[in-house]
Amino acid sequence: MPDEADRFGGLGDALKGDPAADDGAAEGTDDTAESTDSPVESTDAGGEVEPEPAAETESYPEPFGFAETSQQSYYVRDETFDPLAANRSRIRAVASKHGLDEGDLSKRELHDAELSVLQSFEDWDIAVAIEVLERRGVDVDEEAVRAVFDVLR
């Protein structure tokens, strides 16, 4: 029985046609094929063969895999979510400038980063509690909220 915790492990490589993902079991795999990693050679006017340098491409690993995540639901208003969605487009544009394919960024990676940034601010949890209460029309005493959080931390 396959490992349920990582049921999609290696799927991306298999879909990209990476022969390493299927352990060489694909039909038509020729182990004697020339590697595409070797430098290309060109002949100059004097007949001498000069190797051309291989293209330098930077590879960035995923920060975490699908198996390390759990699905969580957030239900928000459109006016709250729309700025995040717009920012994701900007993040993808910046990432492409750094050599990442737009498809390389997963939603889980963006969601995780958004929540990590929120949590990087001091007293983010207190600020969220105050925001919830104020939206309900509660007159909030920040020091009283802070005292409760100090006890519960």
As for how many domains the chain has, the answer is: 2
**Residue 129 in tokens:** 């509690």
Residues 72 and 104 in one domain: yes
Residues 76 and 115 in one domain: yes
Domain containing residue 102 = 63-120
Residues 67 and 88 in one domain: yes
**Domain annotation covers residue 52:** no
Evaluate if residue 15 carries a pLDDT over 50: yes
Residues 95 and 105 in one domain: yes
**Domain annotation covers residue 99:** yes
How far is residue 111's CA from residue 88's CA, in Å, rounded to a whole number?
Answer: 10
Residues 78 and 106 in one domain: yes
**Domain annotation covers residue 55:** no
Tokens 């005493």 -> residue: 141
Q: Percent of the chain having pLDDT more than 70? A: 61
| Per-residue pLDDT reduced to its tens digit, 24-82 | 444 444 444 444 444 444 445 555 555 554 445 566 677 788 888 888 888 999 999 99
**Domain annotation covers residue 29:** no
Whole-number pLDDT of residue 143 = 96
pTM comes to 0.55
**Domain annotation covers residue 138:** yes
Q: Residue 50 — φ and ψ, nearest 5°?
A: -120, 130
Residues 107 and 140 in one domain: no
